[in-house]
Amino acid sequence: MSDTWAGLLQVAALVLLLAVSYRPLGDYMAHILTTKKHSRVEKVLYKTMGVDPEADQTWGTYLRSVFAISAVGVLLLYTLLRVQHHLMMALGMPKVNADLAYNTAASFVTNTNWQNYSGENTLGYVAQATGLAVQNFVSASVGIAVVATLIRGFTRNRTDRLGNFWVDLTRVLIRLMLPFSIVFAVILVACGTVQSLGDHMTVVHTINGNQSLYTGGTASQEVIKLLGTNGGGIFNANSSHPFENPTAFTNLIEIYLLLVIGFALPRTFGKMVGSHKQGYTIVSVMAIIWLGSLIFSTFFEVHHHGINLADGHAALEGKESRFGIPASTLFMTSTTLTSTGAVNSWHDSYSPFGGGAAMFNMMLGEIAPGGTGSGLYGILILAIVTVFIAGLMVGRTPEYLGKKIRPTEMKYAALYILTTPAVVLVFTGLAMALKGETASISSGNLGPNGSPSPHGFSEVLYAFTSMCNNNGSAFGGLSGNTHWWNTAGALAMMFGRFLPMIWVLALAGSLAKQKPVPETEGTLKTASPLFAGMLLGTILLVVGLTYFPALSLGPLAEGLH
Amino acid sequence: MSRISAPLRRHLAAVRAMLIFTVILGIAYPLLVTGIAQLAFKNKANGSLIKDASGQVVASSLLCQQYVDKSGAALPQYFQARPSDATDSSNSSDPGCDYSYSAGSNLGTDSASLKSTIEGRIASYAKAYDIDPTKVPEDAVTASASGMDPGISVENADDQAPSVAKARGIDMATVDQLVKDNTTGRSLGFLGEKYVNVVTLNLALDKAHPVAAAKS
């Protein structure tokens, strides 16, 4: 089979798997988020937590509950990392430094999973499984809970109640994440991903001496790392490591896992608002961006195939031989368009436009399909902006799904859109202005006089884009494990996660209070190819253009040079 | 209950929730998966380990090894893995494929140091295997992502085969057959790329045609 056909079939197989999952998974998630019945297990859990599952919360209470579990999560994970040398199966690893522990705790609670730690020589098995993996589950489920309130904002009328955070969280964890994870963890092990909690196994190598093997709960953590669009690797090399991702088949399964919830959530949205067409409109925009970006990066990587030292290109640098280029760009596109950030190849070594595409994918706000929950609320906010712009053109009060988009709603939407770029660009500017901090750029990417090359600037821009959008992938040459980078990074991740959540919940609260407006002749049809096209244009113009000046200093300067 | 303020009650609920979820998702779940994995797929779950005749674990078929002498020079009787940046930075003689330090180079395409590194690798590969420098396989001179990549391209293996055959004093057909036996095609026929597993190939060579020098 020719390389081109194999590459195309690979994409086709993935699209088929996702398409087959769209309806059942989307409908199932809608059921989880709307049913009135509590299972027996859940009742016990609510009792132990001391919460009343029947209480309906206002947006403010819901938000404070999100903050409460996140604050407790940061403290708990920080503590676990600081005392890991006292835990079982610590493998003799010392406690994690204070600033690295803080950065890692913030990273996992915000669903970013930026890796300043290097798993196999920093963390014991218990710290990984009870610390990192638990936050993988929880942070992913918090995202879905928050988007549920935004959807309820559209479906509920004249109320200030948006649901119960504890119920949403528990159900997503127990009914969705856990069973899915068990099934896929076993599939991964069957294909070669490791899962062994025994002590370091010694491998006797006749030539280079003995080596210790790190295994741990890799398969169980790998699944939720991807399913929950988290991305923090068990190993430093993340999903390029053969113990995490042993074959091209597991590679396909892993890409499927990181996309499946994001692509099925529009179905959940359509089902809850009572119009599947609304869901199809949103999912089609997601799919177009995903496919477009995939074609773009694959073209540039394949185009630069071979070693061209005059151009400095060597496309296989930082890629695995069992995956090759198509399976690497497929992973790269999917991981940066969701908030996953797991990598099976190093984005730092991609061609300038290939790596630039990874950055641009995150800059769009990770909405195609985005992180679990966060992708859908991101694109719904852009849909609101789109109806607003369309309303301005025809001079009518904009409406979306029977709710008026008034100045209040627009303020929250605008705040949402402005927050992330502001944090990304301010932190990038700050890092570049601080001479001591640009020293973290990998020395190979510094110019002759020690000033950063365009690629060096890209490392910094990529870092803050990734942290603030809660992605977690990196141009890994940057040494982020320093006081300044650990601290600034943790702040960027928290701002990038929680500020937008405030605007989303406030918006949901404001929408739910309205009474519905009946659809008339003049109402803009939001379930149509025309609207999908307008939404696509808004995404590219409003969000994409914000970063154009910064991109032109980094990947564009490098690629056109 | 009503005497506790609402914020305190909320945070207590959060603490309890985190503790319960840690027990379910952080302890019970990985133990369950480990149990199933160890019962049903013991060898794979433990890292696809390969043992020698005496039962000693000598390799994982998933992780590369370096076949170099103390000075870092390639041993001609072995097929060489891809360049690996998985090294302990505090140990300058670490040849790579170090299981504790999985990593790639992370150098960008405009990096002068990546350029000179690749140039050096092309020159030594071309010299060692008597290949035209413009025809050196790409995977042989670029570092893998994980630094653990046990695979090389078929072209790379074919280039190295004559030199291995010569060093071991065996005929080419034997080596070619072993290369073929240790080649993995695309998963399901269309996923990923075809590759030759250097680790299993070298073990097969040692088993079938041992050389005294291999023990040095």
pLDDT at A462: 95
Sign of CA pseudo-dihedral B61, B62, B63, B68: positive
Name, in order, each residue with C-beta under 8 angstroms of A101's C-beta and a sequence gap of 6 or more. A78, A81, A82, A95
Interface test with A, best of B8, B18, B85, B215 (most A CBs within 10 A): B18
pLDDT digits 0-9 by tens, A34-59: 999 999 999 999 999 999 999 999 99
Characterize the bridge pairing of strands B151-152 and B195-197. antiparallel
pLDDT at B212: 60
Residue range A399-421: average pLDDT? 96
Residue range A82-92: average pLDDT? 93
Q: Is A30 touching B (CB cutoff 8 A)?
A: no
pLDDT at A198: 84
pLDDT at B214: 44
pLDDT at B111: 80
**A64 pLDDT exceeds 70?**
yes
Interface test with A, best of B23, B152, B191 (most A CBs within 10 A): B191
CB within 8 Å: A220 and B30: yes
pLDDT at A308: 64
Q: Which of A532, A513, A509 is nearest to A386 (CA)?
A: A532
Q: Is A75 touching B (CB cutoff 8 A)?
A: no
Q: Which of B174, B185, B157, B173 is nearest to B209 (CA)?
A: B174
Contact, A413 vs A381, CB < 8 A? yes
CB within 8 Å: B33 and A217: yes
Q: Is A421 touching B (CB cutoff 8 A)?
A: no
Q: Is A349 touching B (CB cutoff 8 A)?
A: yes
pLDDT digits 0-9 by tens, B67-114: 998 888 899 999 999 999 999 988 888 899 999 999 999 888 778 888
Nearest to A194 among B47, B143, B146 (CB): B47
Interface test with A, best of B27, B102, B134 (most A CBs within 10 A): B102
pLDDT at A560: 83
- pLDDT-derived band at B215 (thresholds 50, 70, 90) equals very low
From the number of C-beta atoms within 10 Å of its C-beta (0-12, 13-18, 19+), residue A393 rates as exposed
CB atoms inside a 10 Å sphere around CB A372? 32
Q: Is A312 touching B (CB cutoff 8 A)?
A: yes
- What interface predicted TM-score (ipTM) does this complex get? 0.95
Domain ranges of chain A: 3-271, 347-560
CB within 8 Å: B30 and A197: yes
CB within 8 Å: B151 and A322: yes
For A198-231, the DSSP string reads SS-EEEEETTTEEEEEP-BSHHHHHHHHHHTT--
Nearest to B105 among A224, A349, A355 (CB): A349
Contact, A381 vs A356, CB < 8 A? no
- pLDDT-derived band at B186 (thresholds 50, 70, 90) equals very high
pLDDT at B216: 40
Nearest chain A residue to B110 by CA distance is A312
CB within 8 Å: B17 and A320: no
Residue range B162-190: average pLDDT? 96
Q: Is A487 touching B (CB cutoff 8 A)?
A: no
Q: How many CA atoms lie within 13 A of A369 on its CB side?
A: 28
- pLDDT-derived band at A236 (thresholds 50, 70, 90) equals very high
Contact, B102 vs A343, CB < 8 A? no
Residues of chain A contacting residue B143, judged by C-beta atoms under 8 Å apart: 317-318
Alpha-carbon distance A118 to B147, whole Å?
Answer: 14
A290 or A397: which leads in pLDDT = A290
Q: Is A350 touching B (CB cutoff 8 A)?
A: yes
One-letter amino acid for residue B143 of the chain: A
- A369 cis-preceded (ω within 30 degrees of 0): yes
pLDDT at A21: 98
Task: Give strand pairing partners of B187.
Answer: B191
- pLDDT-derived band at A423 (thresholds 50, 70, 90) equals very high
Residues of chain B contacting residue A51, judged by C-beta atoms under 8 Å apart: 13
pLDDT digits 0-9 by tens, B135-174: 999 999 999 999 999 999 999 999 999 999 999 999 999 9
What is the phi/psi pair of residue A551, to 5°? -65, -35
Nearest chain B residue to A239 by CA distance is B146
Residue range A270-285: average pLDDT? 97
Contact, A256 vs A244, CB < 8 A? no
Distances (CA, A) of B68 to A206, B93, B98, B214: 11, 11, 13, 10
Q: Which of B87, B3, B110 is nearest to A356 (CA)?
A: B110
pLDDT at A290: 97
Alpha-carbon distance B54 to A218, whole Å?
Answer: 29
CB within 8 Å: A181 and B29: yes
Alpha-carbon distance A223 to A464, whole Å?
Answer: 26
From the number of C-beta atoms within 10 Å of its C-beta (0-12, 13-18, 19+), residue B171 rates as exposed
pLDDT digits 0-9 by tens, A100-155: 999 999 999 999 999 999 999 999 999 999 999 999 999 999 999 999 999 999 99
Q: Which A residues, 540 through 559, put their C-beta within 8 Å of a C-beta on chain B?
A: 558
Nearest chain A residue to B16 by CA distance is A49
Residues of chain B contacting residue A453, judged by C-beta atoms under 8 Å apart: 108, 110-111
Contact, A477 vs B108, CB < 8 A? yes
pLDDT at A305: 58
Q: How many CA atoms lie within 13 A of A54 on its CB side?
A: 0
CB within 8 Å: A242 and B27: no
Is the model's pTM score more than 0.80?
yes
Three-class SS of residue B34?
helix
Minimum distance, in Å, between the CA of residue B155 and any CA atom of chain A: 12
Residues of chain A contacting residue B43, judged by C-beta atoms under 8 Å apart: none
CB within 8 Å: B118 and A249: no
Nearest to B27 among A130, A309, A477 (CB): A130
Three-class SS of residue A331?
helix
Characterize the bridge pairing of strands A209-213 and A307-308. unpaired
Three-class SS of residue A334?
helix
Nearest to B16 among A50, A306, A355 (CB): A50
**A311 pLDDT exceeds 70?**
no
pLDDT above 70 covers a percentage of chain A that reads: 98
CB within 8 Å: A134 and B12: no
Least confident of A51-60, A502-511, B48-57: B48-57
Nearest to A346 among B38, B104, B191 (CB): B104
Q: Is A201 touching B (CB cutoff 8 A)?
A: yes
Chain-centroid distance of CA A365 in Å reads: 10
B151, containing H or E segment: strand B151-152
Nearest chain B residue to A325 by CA distance is B192
Residues of chain B contacting residue A189, judged by C-beta atoms under 8 Å apart: 33, 36-37, 40-41, 44-45
pLDDT digits 0-9 by tens, B16-38: 999 999 999 999 999 999 999 99
Distances (CA, A) of B65 to B194, B212, B213: 19, 19, 17
Residues of chain A contacting residue B15, judged by C-beta atoms under 8 Å apart: 72
Alpha-carbon distance A251 to A323, whole Å?
Answer: 8
pLDDT at A223: 98
Nearest to A321 among B37, B49, B153 (CB): B153
**B1 pLDDT exceeds 80?**
no
Number of CB pairs < 8 Å for A and B?
371
CB within 8 Å: A316 and B48: no
Three-class SS of residue B93?
coil
Q: Which of A162, A145, A64, A63 is nearest to A111 (CA)?
A: A145
